[in-house]
Amino acid sequence: MRDLTCLIVDDEPLALDLVENFLERLEIRKVTRCQNSFEALQCLQREPYDLLILDIEMPRQNGIDLLKSLKDRPAVVITTAYRDYAVEGFELEVLDYLLKPFSFNRFSRAIEKVPEREEGFHFLNADRQLIKVQYKQITYIESRKDYIQVRTTRGQWLLRQSLSDITASLPPDQFFRIHRSYTVALGKIEWHKSDAVHIDGKALPVSRENRAELKRRLLVYKNRPLGA
């Protein structure tokens, strides 16, 4: 089974256990559990997920209201004991709607509908042309006054753009601004200590205020699927 990051949301611990067990049987082990919509929203705001497995009837805020509040949704599979929300769920473009109790076979058919993760890319406006560069090719970006230099495994390009703007356009689970002059690809860091990271044999400084967050991002990145 493909490697997915999953967020399970259900107020019943036994239901969470069952879904997590089914996911393990499908060899999906990057799983986060939440018991209400507010915990789930915090998780979704911190990190991207491939799949959200969501109960409906929960205290304070139900699953449908949570879905309506999300601008960018992962793939969604609803698990509920109630038929009443099926039409509304499919209007919100959920992949599947599972009525409890559901079998492992029925669950696995729902998970098979999760779309393949696409390789991300960015267009660089350099040398009077648009150059398509995949995220995985970028090593780090350096600020140079009114310009930035984007270093990649294919070469390097000088762009008239701010480091803040290009960093904001890149996925935060893969890139982090470690210093006023540098944004780095987390997956390209060879090793790091508190005040520096090493990429392509070069030491890049990490500002004091970014050190704790860099450590947290690296721990999260380590647990992401390969190639994500």
Per-residue model confidence (pLDDT) at position 119: 67
- pLDDT of 219: 86
Q: Which CATH class is domain 5-111?
A: alpha beta
Contact 166, 126 (CB under 8 A): no
pLDDT (tens digit, 9 = 90+) per residue, 106-148? 999 999 888 776 568 888 988 888 888 888 899 999 999 899 9
Residue 51 near residue 4, CB atoms below 8 Å: yes
CA distance 6 to 20: 9
67 contacts: CB under 8 Å, gap ≥ 6: 54, 73, 76, 89, 92, 94
**What are the pLDDT digits (tens) for 163-192?**
999 999 998 889 999 999 999 999 899 999
pTM of the model: 0.55
pLDDT value for 59: 86
Confidence of residue 228 (pLDDT cuts 50, 70, 90): very low
Q: Is 121 in a helix, a strand, or coil?
A: strand
Tell me, what's the pLDDT at 118? Answer: 59
pLDDT in tens, 145-156: 899 999 999 899
Q: Which CATH superfamily, name and number, covers 121-222?
A: LytTr DNA-binding domain (2.40.50.1020)
Domain boundaries, the chain: 5-111, 121-222
CA distance 73 to 83: 22
Which pLDDT does position 180 carry in this prediction? 96
Query: What value does the mean pLDDT of the chain take?
Result: 90
Position 111 scores a pLDDT of 93
The reply to whether 5-111 and 121-222 are identical in fold is no
Q: What is the pLDDT of residues 191-224, one digit of tens each?
A: 998 899 999 889 999 999 999 999 999 988 776 5
